[in-house]
Amino acid sequence: MISLATWFPPVKGKKRTISGSYSVVYGLIAAGFSLFYLYTSGFGLVSTETNRGLYLMLTAVLVFLGFPAWRGAPTNRPSIIDIVFIILAVASIGYWMDQYVPYAMFRVSDPNQWDLTMGVIAIVVVLETSRRVLGLAIPIICILFLMQLYFGPYLPGKLSHSGMPVDRIVEFTFSTQEAMFGVVTATFATFVFPFMIFGAFLERSGAGTFFMDLATALTGQWRGGPAKIATLSSALFGSISGSSVANVVASGAFTIPMMKRIGFKPHIAGGIEAIASTGGQVMPPIMGAGVFILATLTQTEYLSIAMMNVIPAILFFIFVLLMVDLEAMRSGLKGLPVEEIPKLGDVLRRGWHFFIPLVVVIGLLFNGFSPDFGAFWGTVSALALSWLRKDTAMGPRDIFHGLISGAHNNTSAGAAIGSLGVIIGGIILSGLGLKFSAVLVEFAGGNLLLTVSIVTIISVIIGMGSSTTGSYIILAVVAAPALIQLGVPEVPAHLVVFYAACLSNITPPVCVSAFAAAAIAKADPMQTGFSALKFGTTLVLVPFSFVYVPELLLQGTPLEIAFAAACYLIGYAALAIAIQGIEFFVGPVSLARRALFLAAAVCFLLPMIVWLKGVGLLLLLAAWGPTLKERRRERETA
């Protein structure tokens, strides 16, 4: 006899855990949701309105089932309000799917009363979906962008326009494929969600445990080993998780307690996990959800963007590892006990096949296939390869749970998509993107450095309480054009905004990744956020490097690219010493020597001026002079 409890385990949402018959309903909807989009990624035989509409509808349904409407709402079952919102979501979005073709053929610019009524309901539904998962930030921004359409004549300066009636705003937002059901929804439904399913199957097949064991075998014996395990495992898993918060929750549950056990302070352990998980979103080959939007907006092959990010991502994680090593050295922390470290050969022997699904995805991308097709075959290969070992073989129940996990993981990122589409629609309809860019360039006086600085600050502000994808999408439309106008190539301009959006995940006062890590570490969220920002200092510098050092994005000859990468590697090492105030081989350094290391780092990280690198080398030698003398004295004494 089949036990429902084993097939439909309790579903944990934000402040709500549903079980029993409710978990059965949730599980069936979630599994069907994933199965449908797994099918479309492999075969693609579905209309545009069905593809986009079902994604928003089913995401909303799962959110209303799993996330309570208010603090006092039931925490073990949906409330009446939830059921009402589910009915409204199905009715309004279902109406759009059914009526889109008749509207496009006969009612463009002349919507009927049903179009407008259902449009208002759908807007309320997507705003409530975002609010429940991400809080008030995205809905408030969304409402502001809708209001600027109506109150256009009252906006200041270049931002003003003639204003639009309510029916025109509702029609454009709901009935067309330019706003709520536009490119953002299409990208998530077509590309991002299939990769979330792929990540869920890879995790369910045992890959998550393998990557953790691999990181432990590689770094567990080093000082501060668990923190290095967190960094490497987050780089490996974060690349396929699609969300920095999801990465924190998935890997942090293991790594943060390990870090605390060997002596890391709670806020430092949480900060390391938060920045490593955030970095997972820029780690090829998958690079999280936002990059699919970036590829769509710039009309660039996804693989090209992934290749351009290889050097920046590797340098970023090297810097984090250097910071972790110096932190462990200052605190006198050791690695894990030998008996807790698996042998590398044994780990590879048991799990080498988990690399194959990633190779399948990359191979298909290199051969010109679409990312969603790669995700489909990556999922199939993960399922098939799980059967190579009896203890990882995925049976029917594991497959079912993998489908549920894929849809459940989507709620965190997908909840904002409808609202982000509304925001994009508001920007397009009013022409605000180009106007804002013109204002930004004028405010900066045409100065590129100042413009990049302002864009970075705005990204951090907009990203407060939002996801990386959400803040990137908004800034891609209103800020990236300003950089392009000042001569920055399109893809680097969008990468500037994307990395700045990643930075918002760990920047106080509202830093969602750091908050998630602090909850696991039982640490102060603000301390955790500042700790993450310290360990991820280079994330502040990367947007500037894309503008002034294009060689890091493989724009140049092999020699120029190698020279730039080497300079940044040396600069990052000197910067780590300057920040931590401790040297790799000796120990603490004086304030004067820290200043020398910082000056050397600046010389190596500034644009590619050869004589400046010579000055940096001299500063580095001066900073390391006392160490070299001490080492020579020790050798002579020995």
pLDDT at residue 72 in the model: 83
Give CA–CA dist 221/325, Å, rounded.
12
Our CA dihedral for 474, 479, 481, 486, rounded to 10 degrees, sits at -170
Task: Convert the pLDDT of each residue in 50-97 to its tens digit.
Answer: 999 999 999 999 999 999 998 888 888 899 999 999 999 999 999 999
Q: Is 588 helix (H, G, I), strand (E, B) or coil?
A: strand
Kindly state the average pLDDT of the residues 157-168. Answer: 90
Kindly give, in sequence order, each residue whose CB lies less than 8 Å from that of residue 630, ignoring residues fewer than 6 positions away.
586
Tokens of 501: 């959006």
**What DSSP line would sit under 206-250, residue for residue?**
THHHHHHHHHHHHHTTSTTHHHHHHHHHHHHHHHHHS-HHHHHHH
What is the arithmetic mean of pLDDT over 352-378? 87
Q: Provide the pLDDT confidence category of residue 635 given band limits of 50, 70 and 90.
A: low
Residue with more model confidence, 252 or 530: 530
Cα(115)–Cα(52) distance, rounded to whole angstroms?
Answer: 17
Helix (H, G, I), strand (E, B) or coil at 192: helix
- Chain centroid to CA 284: 12
Report pLDDT for 52. 96
Q: What angle do CA 398, 400, 405 make, to 5 degrees?
A: 90
| Residue 399: burial class (beta carbons within 10 Å; 0-12, 13-18, 19+) | middle
**pLDDT cut 70: percent of the chain above it:** 94
Whether 504 and 268 have beta carbons less than 8 Å apart is answered as no
Q: What is the mean pLDDT of residues 610-627?
A: 86
Q: Of 110-124, 271-285, 302-316, 605-619, which one has max mean pLDDT?
A: 110-124
Q: What is the identity of the amino acid at 440?
A: L
pLDDT above 50: residue 442: yes
Amino acid letter for position 232 = L
Q: How far is CA 236 from the centre of its chain?
A: 13
317 membership: H or E segment, kind and range = helix 310-331
What token pair was written down for 78?
A: 């949906």
Instruction: Please report, for the chain, the start and end positions of each structural domain, with discontinuous segments joined by +.
Output: 4-183, 556-638
Give yes or no for a contact between 180 and 56, defined as CB atoms under 8 angstroms apart. yes
**Is 278 in contact with 536 (CB distance < 8 Å)?**
yes
**N- to C-terminal Cα distance for the chain?**
75
Residue 376: the pLDDT is 94
Q: What is the pLDDT of residue 1?
A: 43
pLDDT in tens, 446-497: 889 999 898 888 877 776 656 677 778 888 888 888 899 899 999 999 999 8
| More confident site: 300 or 610 | 300
CA 539, CA 505: separation in Å to the nearest integer? 11
Q: Which residues fall within 8 angstroms of residue 591, CB to CB, at 6 or more apart? A: none
**pLDDT tops 50 at residue 618:** yes
- C-beta separation of 196 from 242 below 8 A: yes
Angle at 531 between CA 475 and CA 549, to 5 degrees: 50
Query: Which tokens go with 416?
Result: 């904002």
Between 8-17, 20-29, 601-610, the lowest mean confidence (pLDDT) is in 8-17
Residue 255 phi/psi, 5° resolution? -75, -40
3-state secondary structure at position 176: coil
How much is the average pLDDT of 290-318?
87
pLDDT digits (tens, 9 = 90+) for 517-568: 887 888 888 888 899 999 999 988 998 999 999 999 999 899 999 999 999 9
pLDDT tens figures, 182-241: 988 998 899 889 988 988 898 888 887 888 788 888 877 887 787 887 787 777 665 655
Angle CA(543)–CA(414)–CA(476) in degrees, nearest 5? 30
Residues 561 and 601: their CA atoms lie apart, in Å, by 18
Closest CA to 283 of 230, 242, 224: 242
Residues pairing with 18 in the sheet: 11
H/E segment holding residue 18: strand 16-18
Question: Residue 405 corresponds to which tokens in the numbers above?
Answer: 């996990």
pLDDT category of residue 634 using cuts at 50, 70 and 90: low
φ/ψ of 12, rounded to 5, equals -100, 115
pLDDT, residue 13, reads 73
| Mean pLDDT across 307-335 | 88
Phi, psi of 570 (to 5 degrees): -65, -45
**Mean pLDDT to the nearest integer, 257-272:** 86
Does residue 273 contact residue 230 with C-beta atoms inside 8 Å?
yes
Q: What is the dihedral of CA 121, 178, 278, 238, to 10 degrees?
A: 90
Question: Which of 489, 579, 461 minimizes the C-alpha distance to 305?
Answer: 489
Q: For all residues of the chain together, what is the average pLDDT? A: 87
pLDDT score of 600: 94
Rg (CA), the chain: 25
Token digits for 429? 């309809």
The C-alpha atoms of residue 36 and residue 95 are separated, in whole angstroms, by 20
Question: What is the predicted pLDDT for the residue at 161?
Answer: 87
Q: pLDDT band for position 333 (50/70/90)? A: confident
The pLDDT of residue 399 is 93
Which among 403, 546, 467, 543 has a CA at the least distance from the CA of 184? 467
Q: How far apart are CA 500 and CA 489, in angstroms?
A: 17
Map tokens 């509207």 to a residue.
103
Q: By 3-state DSSP, what share of the chain in percent is helix, strand and coil, each rounded to 5? A: 75, 0, 20
Per-residue confidence (pLDDT) for residue 631, from 0 to 100? 66
Per-residue pLDDT band at 512 (split at 50, 70, 90): confident
Classified as helix, coil or strand, 555 is coil
